[in-house]
Structures are given as C-alpha cells and as structure tokens.
Amino acid sequence: MLFQITMTNLSISFQPKESFGNQTYNFGDVNVRITLEDNFKHSGIYCFLLYNDQLMLLADAETKYDMSRRLNKSIKATLQSQLVWIPGKYFLLVRNDEGKVLRYNLILDNEGKFIAQGKPFFCPSMSDEDMLSGRLYNCKNKWKLLSRKPGTMQLKRWVINRAKQNELNWMRYEMHQAHLEFCNNLLISGKPTGIIGSSVMLLLHSAEIMTKHMFGHLDQFYDMTKPNPYESMTDFFNAVKPCDDFFSMIQDSTKAYTFVFSNLDALFDSSGKLIMKAIQTHWPGNSNSAIFYGTQQEITELLEQYPSLGQHFPAENRLSIEPYTREEMIYVMFEEARLAHLEFTPAAVEKVCNLITEAFERGLIAHFDRLDFRDYVEQNLLPRYKKNNIDNLKAGIPNFTELEVLPCDIDDDFFLNRKSHYNEALEELQAMVGLTEIKRNIRTLSGQMKFLQERRLMGLRTTCNATYHAVLTGNPGTGKTTVAKLLGKIYHALGLLSKGDVVYVDRRRIIGRYIGETEENMKLILKEAQGNVLFIDEAYTLYTQGDERDFGRHAVECLLDVLSRKDPDMLIVFAGYEKEMDALLSMNQGLASRFPYRFHFPNYDPDELMQIAEKMISADDYELCDEARTLLRQVIREAVGSRCESFGNARWVEQLVRNGIVPALADRISSSPHPICKAVYQRIEADDVRVAAEKFNPKAVALKRRPAIGFCA
C-alpha cells in the first residue's frame, strides 16, 4: 500500500513494511521518482539522500540515468531503511555526478504521506548540502553512523565545517597553493556515563583526520599498588613513536597521533600535575592532537587548573554531547531491541513510539540515554515478552505474529511513571514515623529541585546552580541513614544524580596508615561515589583542629575539591552527633559554607518507638497478643526514661525485635511438644517480650561513641 504526493518534478512515496492502518509510526522503504529538468539532466550516477532535521541520514540510494533513451524522462530510486519513520521534518538531497545538488524540503505527516514544503532549489558549492551529499557521503558508513549517533548534533556540525575546510585545501592543492593547517584539538563534554570512543572514531574518520588514535583513561595512569605508580602512564606514552623528520612522517607506523583522554578527575588530585606534564611532553607539538572528554564541570576545572591549555582549544572546538531528542530516543530504543533480536508488530511499534513521545513531552525521561533503553529492553521488555509467549504456548494459544513483540509485552508504567520513583521516595519519607520537621524541609527542597528541573526542560533560563550537600545531625537510630537513601532516590529521579545509590564510609575506611594513602583512599571512594550519595558517618572524627599529624585533614581537602564544584554528580552527606558536627564546621568556615542544608533528627519518643516496633513486627507477619503489646510498650517507656545520649533509638528497637523477640519466640516454639498450627508461628507472647527485654536492656547495650580510629603521622 503506497502513500504518495506529486509536485512539479517529484513523486515520493512511503512503502511501509506493514499496512499503516491507523498507525502513525512504521518501518519501510521510500520510493522516489523525479522528472529531470534540462539544467539537471546528465547521464551518470545520481545519489538520493534522505535526512531528518537533526542531520540523521536515514536512507540513501544510488541509481544510474541514461539520457540517450528518449522515453526515459524521469529517474527512480528506492531508498531502503531499517529505521522507524517518525512524523516530522525531512529533506531530500539529489546529487548528480557533476556535483549539482537539488534539495527538497518535506514533511512526513501522521498518515505516512510525504508533503513537499515549497519548491526544490539548487544548493551552491561549499554549502552544507554540498558536504552532506558529497565529501561526507563519500565517507559512506563512517558519516552515516556518526549522523545516527544520538546527542551528537554539535559534533556533526563541527564535521560539516571541517569538510568545508578540507574541500578548500583540496582546491588549494589543485592550484598548487600551500596546505592550510586546522586545529584538531577538541574539548568534548557530556554525561559521566557517556560512551565516547566510537563517536570520536567516527568523527575523526568523517573529518578525514588521518592519525593514529590512542585512548587514555587517566584514572589508570597512577596506581599506588604498583612499585612504580606511574607504570601504566609510562607504558602508554612509550608506545608513541616520535615524528621528528619528513621521512618518519610519511611512514604509517610513525605518523601523528590523536590522544583521547577521559576520566579527567585524575588530573585534579596530587598525581595530576605529573600526569599533565607527561601529556604535554607529547602534545601539543609533533603534529599530534588531543581530545579531552569529561563532564562540563571537569572541562571547566581542567581549564581553571591548567589555564595554558585554553589557547589550544578555539571556541568552535569546544563541543558537547547533548541530551537525546525524542526522535533519537525512539531510534535508540528500536536499535537496542534489534540487538536483542526482537521485532515488533505495527501496533507494538505504535505503542512504543507513543509512550516515548508522551514521556518525553512530560519531562519524565529527559535524562535517558542508551544505557537506560538497554536496561529497559533487557530487564523489562525481554522478560515480559518471554513470559507472555511461554504462557501462550503452554495454554495452546496460537501466535499469528511470528513471535513478534506485541503491545501487551510493553510496560506503560516504565515510561509514564518515571516520576513514580520521585513520588515513591516522598511517600516512603512520609511513611516514616515522626520526623515532622525533617519531612517538611525535604518536601520543600525536593519541590524546589523539581521546579528548577522542569523550567530547564521547558527551555526557560535557570541561572540557579544550587548545591544540595547536607549535614544530618542526631543520635544513633534516628533515621539519618534512611533519609540519605531517600535523598539519593529523589535526586536520581530528578536527574541530578546519575545513579542515586548510597556509598557509606567512615574514618576507618578513609584515613590511611602513611602519607599518600589517605589521598589514594579518597580517590577510590570518590570514584565509587560518582553519581551517588557519599554518606560519611561520624564525619567529625575526620579532622582534629591543631593536630598537623592527623591525616584526616587531607581527606577534608579532597572533599572540599568536590564540594566546590557546581555540578559534581554527587551528593555529600555528613552525619553525626549535633555538638561534634557543629564543632567540626566551626573549625573550617570553607567547609561549613559548602553545606547549605542541615537537618537535625530528634530522639524518638516512646509512642514513636512503639509504632516502629509494630511496623517491624507486622511487616514479617508476626502478631502481638494484647499482653505482649502492653508489656512491649512498658519496656520501651522504661528504656526511653533511662536512656543515655548514645541510646540507639530505632536501632535499639530493631535489635529488640529481630534479635530478641523473634529468637525468643523461635526457642519457645521449637521446645514445645504439642502440635503447632500456623497461628502459633505468628503469635508473640508476653514471655517472648520479657526474655528480649532482659537481653536488650538499654543500659547494657547503649551504643558508645566511636573513637577517632585512624592514623597520624
């Protein structure tokens, strides 16, 4: 079934893989026929290239035209494509082998019809269209693959401009003029989880930068565990052969290099200067070039710490990997599904595209990248598809779709309830016992973050680059750790953290035994905490004022570096007793100013601790008899009345229930000679509570403050 439109000299039709019906999206080929005008007629090869408005080459074909055949007034081509067709703006380029380029602007409507926008026009030499259909198209698959890489619009624009510069040099060569040199050094910023290697390779090939490529992960250049910590860095640069004369330059084995450096945070610690010195020994100069890839914060810090680098990177060579567009998300989704050997029915294609479109417009998946869609396919779509097909085969239900993905295999909630992680975290917070003031403050903070994120998604100017590092003070067992987990979930749901998990550390894990080990420990911890919440328990033990032998000050210096960044993709949380945390922050005003939010967690009162105990008991399908409930309430009241400063609050209740009451119940049941029913395994008696209370007397098990374990010089 064909959907086509005809204008003065163009007929273009979409031939879907399946009949469109009511579908807006589908796969298929494109049939093109143009009636050639005299000023474009020429026997030879014609190239047809169909791009969308994001410079993605979606389909192309070459065909031969013979003017000697009088009846042959038009030229036809079928443009094959494996990509889904999405309603929107497109343009068709037709190029003959004389180098003339004709452009048609098109719109693909919701019914699968290409509609011409205005009249076709010839494109001049050195125009974007000239490059897209000529020099870049001659790169064939390299340019096609780069054009389809999501988030690479700035890289594609740079390659188009470089193609024009290369064309200029070719013209100068034909006129026996000197070759012009162009800067190949690039700064590329993007997400910390971004995969940049393949995009860089495609960029270099498409831009005709014919150098040897070396990828250096800078965090591997220094390893304290080796006798020579810089062994990996030395091996990396030893592989570089010098290009010091004309004859060595023409040998492929010794031609110039393009160094691609990632994990730039390694340049900002104690070993960074030596690494940078090694980099600068091999670049700039020697015809070599360098590409640095990192987050925007890392790129900014790189230029601040090493200001002389700026001269090697002109403004046009500072690029960004941008967030995915809706169309890119749809293409990536089906690409990941194809890699998993899944094909879709037209109805399933329609459902996926509509879900992604709605989720994108509502800002629910603004931070999604390829890894998110890969996770969806592997962890959601594929399991549902397998289960549904196996269940149908078991039930004898015939499958008429050749085992393609059906609409029922696609989980609406995965896309449309993305904010549910945000709402779930707030609901979890609200369900916590007590903490009224904490809940109100965190809801206010979360609402502010959500508001600012939605403004950014709407394209509104948002100059507020607030930091959200926090200090949580209070006695043990008051909910600090749980709230830190919820903050991680909230920040991740809003796209402020790339992962949102919690990394727990204290002085024992941070402080080393000798000079340099603390910095190395912090380097590993900060790497692990990237994208997560770094929760430092009893943070006041890190630093002792006036004690120059305490290695803890080196840890604080490492933290200050992260705390000073505008967008570190990390939330640092200090936790500990209120007085001690106040003392720590008062010692270092620079440290105090980096924590704009402070939340104090009060001790739980007896009623709140009783609620916590009952929630734990009911969560595991246990039940308190009336006498046991009364006794448990009395035990908790007595514990609160006699508690010391280090009383464990909810932590003590958890020990009382899980390590006291439940084992007492188990002992009683296992020693009973009578037949036992299910209810007996659930019912907690007063004797169980009494045994647990004797074992977990708060005076005997009060949590003691942890001493400042660690090492000093």
Q: Pairing relation of β-strands 571-576 and 470-474?
A: parallel
Does a structural domain hold residue 620? yes
Same domain, 356 and 288: no
Same domain, 275 and 174: yes
Same domain, 106 and 245: no
Res. 39 pLDDT band, cuts 50 70 90:
low
User: Among 95-104, 179-188, 492-501, 626-635, whose mean pLDDT is lowest?
Assistant: 492-501
pLDDT at residue 271 in the model: 81
Same domain, 435 and 555: yes
Mean pLDDT, range 496-500, rounded to an integer: 84
- For the segment 88-99, what is each residue's pLDDT rounded down to a tens digit? 999 999 998 889
pLDDT at residue 337 in the model: 96
Contacts of 131 (CB under 8 A, 6+ apart): 160, 163, 164, 167
pLDDT at residue 57 in the model: 95
pLDDT at residue 377 in the model: 96
Same domain, 460 and 505: yes
- For the segment 229-243, what is each residue's pLDDT rounded down to a tens digit? 888 999 998 887 654
Please, what is the average pLDDT of the chain? 84
- Write out the H or E segment, with its range, that includes residue 265: none
Res. 186 pLDDT band, cuts 50 70 90:
very high
Nearest in space to 329 (alpha carbons), one of 376, 383, 296: 376
Q: Is the pLDDT of residue 275 over 80?
A: yes
pLDDT at residue 699 in the model: 60
Cα–Cα distance for residue pair 86/266, rounded to 1 Å: 42
- For the segment 356-396, what is each residue's pLDDT rounded down to a tens digit? 999 988 878 877 889 889 999 999 999 999 999 888 888 87
Res. 1 pLDDT band, cuts 50 70 90:
very low
Full residue range of the structural domain in which residue 393 is found: 326-411
pLDDT at residue 247 in the model: 38
Domain boundary pick from 601, 618, 635: 601
How many domains would you assign to the chain?
5
Domain boundary pick from 305, 320, 335: 320
The domain that holds 174 is classified in CATH as 3.40.50.300
Same domain, 594 and 617: no
Q: Is 563 helix (H, G, I), strand (E, B) or coil?
A: helix
Mean pLDDT, range 561-569, rounded to an integer: 79
pLDDT at residue 467 in the model: 77
Res. 195 pLDDT band, cuts 50 70 90:
low
pLDDT at residue 5 in the model: 33
Same domain, 186 and 101: no
Res. 123 pLDDT band, cuts 50 70 90:
very high
Same domain, 229 and 315: yes
Does a structural domain hold residue 90? yes
Mean pLDDT, range 196-201, rounded to an integer: 84
Same domain, 574 and 646: no
Q: Is the pLDDT of residue 246 over 60?
A: no
Same domain, 313 and 175: yes
Mean pLDDT, range 515-534, rounded to an integer: 85
Does a structural domain hold residue 141? no
Q: Is the pLDDT of residue 427 over 50?
A: yes
- For the segment 572-592, what is each residue's pLDDT rounded down to a tens digit? 999 999 998 988 888 777 788
pLDDT at residue 176 in the model: 93
Res. 18 pLDDT band, cuts 50 70 90:
low
Same domain, 645 and 546: no
* Whether the model pTM is above 0.75: no
Buried b (16+ CB within 10 A) or exposed e, 499-531: bbebbebbbebbbbeeeebbbbbbbebbeebbb
**Per-residue CA distances from 9 to 20, 314, 692 (Å):** 26, 44, 90
% of residues, the chain, pLDDT over 70: 86
Backbone angles phi, psi at 246, to 5 degrees: -60, -40
Domain boundary pick from 553, 573, 601: 601
Look up residue 310 and give its amino acid. Answer: G
- For the segment 434-453, what is each residue's pLDDT rounded down to a tens digit? 999 999 999 998 888 888 87
